[in-house]
């Protein structure tokens, strides 16, 4: 007989104090599993070593505060000599709370027990970095039997179970495939969607070969969508710009709409077609058929805060638009020429 479900009612859940999500890096890396994915030789390991140093020292990562704690870094594609050479270039005094291993077991074949033992030996460890995921995957997995998605999901879930139970953050370093996806860079993660689906946070590091800056895209259950622009200088990924989801969404709004607000600023009412509007605004690059589409999508975010009411109505072969600017006088609100 299967075990009964462990239920909790909404009232109990609402009134019971619970521990808040622990953030190792404020707003960027919460407890749970985070995937850092990027192309080969782009500098992922330099970024992870820098992350480990900042967290172990309790210093900010760029403009983000860190939760000071011990760090376990499974640096599986490097030797101790290479790690030492990188440390020479990054710091003069390395913190004792940052610990490395260059060899470990595989998932399902000893790795989980090794991580648990390290957490028991060093209970202040709150961040585990595994570089790379491929190095700890069991090549004799059941992918052929259960499919790639199930295998990918199970591997990430095995790590996630430790992270959730021990309330730590685990960062898994992984690769992007060569096939690009301009519509959604998160689809470029090597493997199936089981990897990104099981992870709590997904981070993509992308850089074109002929550019000196890279883009770090972040999406997750406990973090907002955000974008960092980074430049690799003196072996450190330096912050150039950080945009939160509000700034990124604002960039999606066509600049035409802000010019429209300026155009309507001294007009109490304007009525006409899209072609007439563009003519009066002296807009030559915006097609008339896109005007109503842009207004339909963004009017509530651009016009309404500016005190501009927008209405539209089709009359015969044309579509009329009316913009009414609020002047604080409601006596003629019922009058409309549209």
* 91 and 220 co-located in one domain: yes
* 259 and 239 co-located in one domain: no
Residue at a domain's end among 190, 225, 245: 245
Q: At 333, is the pLDDT very low, low, confident or very high (cuts 50, 70, 90)?
A: very low
* 235 and 259 co-located in one domain: no
* 260 and 239 co-located in one domain: no
- The domain that holds 279 is classified in CATH as 1.10.10
* 285 and 138 co-located in one domain: no
Q: Does residue 338 form part of some domain? A: no
Average predicted confidence (pLDDT) for the chain = 91
The closest alpha carbon to 201, from 243, 159, 248, belongs to 159
* 241 and 261 co-located in one domain: no
Q: At 336, is the pLDDT very low, low, confident or very high (cuts 50, 70, 90)?
A: very low
Classify strands 226-233 and 236-243 as parallel, antiparallel or unpaired: antiparallel
Residue at a domain's end among 202, 220, 245: 245
Return d(Cα 18, Cα 33) in angstroms, integer: 20
Helix axes 255-264, 274-281, angle to 10 degrees: 80
pLDDT tens digits, 116-130: 999 999 999 999 999
* 197 and 100 co-located in one domain: yes
Quick one: average pLDDT of 231-239? 94
Determine the pLDDT at residue 144. Answer: 53
Q: At 297, is the pLDDT very low, low, confident or very high (cuts 50, 70, 90)?
A: confident
Quick one: average pLDDT of 169-184? 89
- The domain that holds 110 is classified in CATH as 3.40.50.300
Q: Does residue 306 form part of some domain? A: yes
More confident residue, 249 or 150: 150
Three-state SS at 247: helix
Helix boundaries (H) for 41-147: 44-57, 80-90, 111-121, 133-136, 143-146
CA 28 from chain center: how many Å? 8
Q: Does residue 335 form part of some domain? A: no
Q: At 246, is the pLDDT very low, low, confident or very high (cuts 50, 70, 90)?
A: confident
pLDDT tens digits, 259-278: 999 999 999 999 999 999 99
pLDDT tens digits, 50-82: 999 999 999 999 999 999 999 999 999 999 999
Residue 338 scores a pLDDT above 50: yes
* 148 and 258 co-located in one domain: no
Instruction: Residue 258: give the domain boundaries.
Output: 253-325
The closest alpha carbon to 27, from 220, 241, 237, belongs to 220
- Rounded to two decimals, the pTM is 0.78
How many structural domains compose the chain? 2
Q: Does residue 190 form part of some domain? A: yes
Determine the pLDDT at residue 141. Answer: 56
Contact between residue 230 and residue 238 where contact means Cβ atoms under 8 Å apart? yes
Return d(Cα 175, Cα 181) in angstroms, integer: 14
* 82 and 104 co-located in one domain: yes
* 102 and 33 co-located in one domain: yes
Q: Does residue 12 form part of some domain? A: no
Q: At 248, is the pLDDT very low, low, confident or very high (cuts 50, 70, 90)?
A: confident
The closest alpha carbon to 76, from 54, 34, 107, 55, belongs to 107
Residue 143 scores a pLDDT above 70: no
Determine the pLDDT at residue 145. Answer: 54
Residue 282 scores a pLDDT above 90: yes
Lowest mean pLDDT among 10-19, 64-73, 136-145, 324-333: 324-333
Residue at a domain's end among 197, 221, 245: 245
Q: Does residue 336 form part of some domain? A: no
Q: Does residue 292 form part of some domain? A: yes
The closest alpha carbon to 224, from 201, 250, 253, 254, belongs to 201
Determine the pLDDT at residue 105. Answer: 97
Q: Does residue 2 form part of some domain? A: no
* 56 and 146 co-located in one domain: yes
- Residues paired with 163 in a beta bridge: none
Quick one: average pLDDT of 314-335? 72
* 195 and 236 co-located in one domain: yes
Q: At 22, is the pLDDT very low, low, confident or very high (cuts 50, 70, 90)?
A: very high
């Amino acid at each position: 007989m299967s075990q009964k479900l462990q239920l909790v009612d909404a009232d109990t859940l609402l009134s019971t104090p619970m521990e808040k999500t622990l953030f190792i890096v404020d707003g960027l890396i919460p407890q749970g599993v985070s995937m850092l994915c990027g192309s080969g030789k782009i500098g992922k390991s330099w970024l992870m070593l820098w992350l480990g140093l900042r967290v172990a020292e309790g210093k900010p990562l760029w403009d983000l505060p860190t939760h000071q704690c011990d760090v376990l870094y499974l640096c599986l594609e490097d030797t101790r000599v290479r790690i030492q050479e990188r440390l020479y270039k990054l710091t003069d005094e390395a913190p004792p709370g940052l610990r490395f291993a260059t060899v470990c077991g595989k998932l399902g074949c000893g790795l989980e027990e090794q991580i648990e033992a390290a957490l028991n030996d060093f209970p202040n460890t709150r961040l585990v970095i595994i570089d790379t995921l491929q190095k700890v995957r069991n090549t004799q997995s059941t992918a052929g039997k259960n499919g790639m998605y199930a295998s990918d999901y199970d591997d990430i879930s095995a790590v996630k179970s430790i992270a959730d139970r021990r309330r730590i953050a685990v960062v898994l370093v992984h690769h992007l495939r060569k096939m690009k996806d301009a519509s959604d860079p998160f689809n470029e993660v090597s493997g199936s969607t089981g990897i990104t689906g099981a992870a709590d946070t997904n981070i993509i590091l992308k850089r074109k070969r002929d550019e000196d800056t890279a883009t770090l895209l972040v999406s997750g259950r406990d973090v907002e969508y955000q974008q960092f622009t980074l430049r690799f200088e003196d072996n450190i990924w330096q912050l150039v710009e950080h945009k939160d989801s509000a700034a990124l969404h604002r960039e999606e709004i066509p600049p035409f709409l802000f010019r429209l607000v300026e155009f309507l600023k001294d007009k109490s009412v304007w009525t006409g077609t899209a072609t007439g509007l563009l003519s009066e605004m002296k807009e030559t690059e915006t097609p008339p058929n896109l005007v109503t589409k842009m207004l339909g999508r963004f009017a509530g975010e651009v016009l309404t805060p500016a005190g501009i009411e927008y209405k539209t109505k089709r009359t015969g072969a044309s579509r009329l638009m009316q913009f009414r600017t609020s002047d604080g006088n409601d006596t003629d609100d019922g009058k409309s020429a549209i």
